[in-house]
Amino acid sequence: MGRGDTEVTLDRGEVSIPDSWHVAHMAQEVGATTQSAIDYVLSGDEQWYEINASLNDLSSVSDEQIGVLHQQFDEIDGYRTPTKAAQIMAGLGFNTSQHELPVEGFSGGWRMRLNLAKTLMSRADLMLLDEPTNHLDLDAILWLETWINAYTGLVIVISHDQAFLDATVGHILHVEQQKITLYTGNYQQFIRTRHERMAQQQQAFEKQEATKAHLDDFIRRFRAKASKAKQAQSRIKQLERMAELSPMMADNPFSFRFYEPANMSSPLIELTKADIGYSDTPLLYNANVQVTPDTRLGLLGMNGAGKSTLIKALVGELGVLTGTYRVSDTLKLGYFNQHQMDILDAKPRR
């Protein structure tokens, strides 16, 4: 499976998974649906969801089948499943008042949390989590670390969060130059082991190059001499049998710089006694923020507290409901939206 749940086939080889295993995969997109949040999460436990649906509609079920369904429900500890779903939702930041809200009423980030919760509800032997910490705040990430460490199945996780990897994984699969290498340990151990392996590979390559040069020199000097011809042929065969080692390719260097602005005045942006929100409903009250050329600000707050709303007001994307908003005449603004795809021009250029 690939990003966006696109079907990917193998060019060569095979993938073997035990037939008895159930595999759960965290999809990268969540469609709009009127299904309630708690029901959407519960649907992740397919076995429970099917049995529960049958028990809630007994019109086409015989008395004998009802008994079997109740036995199956008891065997999977089905009476505690709704509590488990509520606990997972609480761990990911949902409150009980949100349980019955429709999925379509949540923002994209919160829908991804619902999708993660649905995946965690699965009775999977193998769980595939692609960037599960995206859209999570610190509390939710810490909860997820605890959940993964307590999980009894196999978890394969893709993440750029090094602290999260350090806290949750015991093996690293490193993909580089179309090859996969397995390392034992967490991310920090992987970094140390990889650096050691790189150094050993480079040393082996340099040693081999020196040996090749010595053999080539001997062959060049003595190949034509009858007394040394046999030794020269022996060294030619030694060269042919020698495994070809490659030099250690360093990671591509990355660097960037911020261009110096031509003109700057102070303040650059100023909010004064501003109420900020949507449709005449304030989310932030009496905001007073001043951004000067040497300002470095970090915004902290739980999801839904209004961080993105404040950013939108500062860049002028969202007008203030009350108060004042001023920007410098010389201001040139760079803005990276958390939903960047929503503001990019998708039309092809001619």
Alpha carbon 129 to its chain's center: 7
Asked whether residue 162 falls in the same domain as residue 202, the answer is no
Q: Which of 255, 285, 310 is the last residue of a domain?
A: 255
Q: Which of 77, 55, 127 is nearest to 85 (CA)?
A: 77
Which of 38-47, 104-113, 196-205 has the highest average model confidence (pLDDT)?
38-47
Pairing of strands 322-327, 269-278: antiparallel
Asked whether residue 299 falls in the same domain as residue 195, the answer is no
Other Cβ atoms within 10 Å of 43 Cβ, number: 17
pTM of the model: 0.69
Other Cβ atoms within 10 Å of 212 Cβ, number: 14
Q: Are 3 and 88 in contact (CB under 8 A)?
A: no
The pLDDT assigned to 187 comes to: 94
Catalogue the long-range contacts made by 1-7 (C-beta closer than 8 Å, 24 or more residues apart).
1/25, 1/128, 3/28, 3/130, 4/28, 4/29, 5/29
The mean pLDDT value of the chain amounts to: 86
Answer whether residue 99 is part of any domain. yes
Asked whether residue 210 falls in the same domain as residue 290, the answer is no
Judge whether residue 314 has pLDDT over 90: yes
By percentage, how much of the chain surpasses pLDDT 90?
42
Answer whether residue 245 is part of any domain. yes
Judge whether residue 61 has pLDDT over 80: no
- Based on C-alpha coordinates, what's the Rg of the chain? 30
Averaged over 218-238, what is the pLDDT?
80
Q: How many domains does the chain have?
A: 3
Answer whether residue 49 is part of any domain. yes
Judge whether residue 341 has pLDDT over 60: no
Main-chain phi, psi angles of 129, to 5 degrees: -115, 115
Q: How far is residue 219 from each of residues 222, 227, 245, 341, measured CA to CA in Å?
A: 5, 13, 21, 62
Pairing of strands 154-158, 179-184: unpaired
Asked whether residue 10 falls in the same domain as residue 117, the answer is yes
Q: Which of 169, 197, 216 is the last residue of a domain?
A: 169
Extract the tokens encoding 64: 């004998």
Task: Report the alpha-carbon distance of residue 321 to residue 323 in Å, rounded.
Answer: 7
Pairing of strands 171-176, 179-184: antiparallel
Asked whether residue 217 falls in the same domain as residue 273, the answer is no
Asked whether residue 153 falls in the same domain as residue 9, the answer is yes
Find the domain containing 309 and state its range.
269-342
Q: What digits encode the pLDDT tens for the residues 103-121?
A: 988 887 888 999 999 999 9
**304 three-state secondary structure:** coil
Asked whether residue 244 falls in the same domain as residue 282, the answer is no
